[in-house]
Chains A and B, each alone.
Chain A
Amino acid sequence: MNFYQYSQLTFNDVFQFLNAGWVTLSLTLLSIFLGTVLGTALGLIRCSKNRVVSALPLLLIEPLRNSPLVAQLFLIYFGLPTIGLIMLDAFSAAVLAISLNTAAFFAVLVHNSVISIPQTQWEAGYALGHGRLSVFCHIILQQSLRLLIPQAITLYITQLQCTSLVSLISLIDLTKLGQNLSNRTLQPFLIWGIVFVIYFALSYPFSRLSKYLEKRFAFDY
């Protein structure tokens, strides 16, 4: 087998794409799940009436939203081991970084969608004799979900694309595979074209869904 043959794209590379695609997909699903759970908690704390309590999550949210994900990823992957904290492998570090990042953005979405429900809805609930929790669960929650869901899907798509950054910490996801193959085959247009198509196929349906839901859920008071 000469070099020229080796450098060609072969059938075996399909499995490489499947592997790398699975890394991207599992990373995305895991981190958006964890991010959603943590983000919902932070967002609900943000909605607290106590000013001090509602400001607390900002300590975590603001630095995460205002700094690049790459820096956060590197801080966790390269930084944490040197200060004697846990040493994570690339995949766990990526999951941790991306889920924290998702959580920060998700918390803001949750907070915004809850406070954008008019105060009159709360007052109407109280007037009917409901407690704060009961008003929230029966009146506010459904309405804020209509606002939240389309935006959440958009956020998930963004995070799917952010997972491409994990190729910088030597995890073989779609982007890293694209880089490897394009170096091997010297056909960047073909390889990056395939990678483009895979990412596009993963995220385009959801971005259509988000647009559709946004129209479907739109309502006026």
Chain B
Amino acid sequence: MYQLNFSFVGKYLPMMVSGVKLSLVIIVGSMLIGIVLGTVFALFRQSKSRLLQAAASIWVNVLRNTPFLVQLFFFYYGLPLLGIDTSPVATSIIALGINTSAVNCEIIRAGLLAVKTDYYECAKALGFNRFQTVRLIVLPIALRVAFKPLTSNFVNLALTSSTAFSITCMEIMGVAKTISSNTSRPFEVYILIILLYCIFTYTISFAAKLIDRRIAIKL
């Protein structure tokens, strides 16, 4: 009978902590990029210009219909040819941010659609110009509506970020791979990683629920 042995945890703890830190950096960094790009493209999709609409639509459809791993390799092998020499960490943050911006765009667009035309008319009556209307009235409401789906996308993003190890990032999954080949105890290592991710995603969803209760608004 096989004996489970988790004694490697003590020895490799500093390595795992650094892996978790790097994972968090990647996740948070790419979410920030994702939200900014997502908002921009959501506004493009709602704009009156056909060109901007088409650009946003192509952006979303291409990114949503191709695997993240392929996008990651595209950036990892492609960027250096364009003369942009980035580290694996930066590459994975950029790739993840761009990938997640497509889903964020759809979510924020749904939020924008939830803002009724009355609000636009009110803003016009109060003398706001278009930019002010969007910045001060429409976006705050839309982002509040979009908060919950955005957090569930954040969880998805956290899970997807584990693929960053394939371009030699030493985030938690990369660390796990190293540990499992050093100790030849892959079963325990990956069980531990799955547990870690579960704890992380549960914490995020719990926090998101609390925050969502505070900022939820009725339209």
Contacts and interface: CB of A to CB of B under 8 A. Distances in A.
B129 interface: no
Given A84-B2, A168-B166, A175-B73, A196 B194 contact: no
Give the interface residue-count category, chain A.
35 or more
A174 B67 CA distance: 11
A165 B162 CA distance: 11
Contacts of B201: 66-67
A71 B180 CA distance: 12
B194 A200 contact: no
A199 B61 CA distance: 12
Contacts, number: 127
Contacts of A68: 159-160, 162-163, 173, 193, 197
Contacts of A179: 73
B85 to A, nearest CB: 14
A16 interface: no
Given A63-B198, A161-B67, A164-B70, A75 B61 contact: no
Given A67-B198, A71-B173, A175-B67, A82 B62 contact: no
Given A67-B197, A162-B67, A204 B186 contact: no
B190 interface: yes
Interface centre among B74, B185, B197 (most CB of A within 10 A): B74
Q: Which of A68, A157, A207 has the most CB of B within 10 A?
A: A68
A178 interface: yes
B163 to A, nearest CB: 6
Interface in A193-221: 195-196, 199-200, 203-204, 207
A70 interface: yes
A78 B186 CA distance: 6
B66 A199 contact: yes
A189 interface: yes
Contacts of A83: 2, 4, 187
Nearest to A187: B81
A134 B97 CA distance: 48
Given A168-B166, A199-B67, A75 B197 contact: no
Contact of A66 (B69, B160, B190, B198): B198
A74 B178 CA distance: 13
B195 to A, nearest CB: 8
In terms of DSSP, what is the predominant structure of the interface of chain B? helix
Task: Give the interface size bracket for B toward A.
Answer: 35 or more
A131 interface: no
B184 interface: yes
Contact of B65 (A62, A157, A164): A157
B77 interface: yes
A161 B99 CA distance: 13
B1 to A, nearest CB: 8
Interface string B150-176: 000001000110110110000001001
Nearest to A166: B69
B73 A66 contact: no
Contacts of A66: 155, 159, 197-198, 201-202
Interface string B69-112: 11001100110010000000000000000000000000000000
A200 B160 contact: no
Given A157-B65, A188-B74, A69 B190 contact: no
Given A75-B190, A188-B77, A189-B81, 18 more contacts: A66-B159, A66-B197, A66-B198, A66-B201, A69-B159, A70-B162, A74-B176, A74-B186, A78-B186, A78-B187, A82-B186, A83-B187, A84-B2, A161-B65, A175-B69, A188-B74, A189-B78, A196-B70
24 contacts: A63-B198, A66-B201, A68-B162, A70-B162, A70-B173, A71-B193, A74-B186, A79-B189, A79-B190, A79-B191, A82-B184, A161-B66, A161-B68, A164-B68, A165-B69, A192-B73, A192-B74, A196-B66, A199-B65, A199-B70, A200-B65, A203-B65, A204-B61, A207-B61
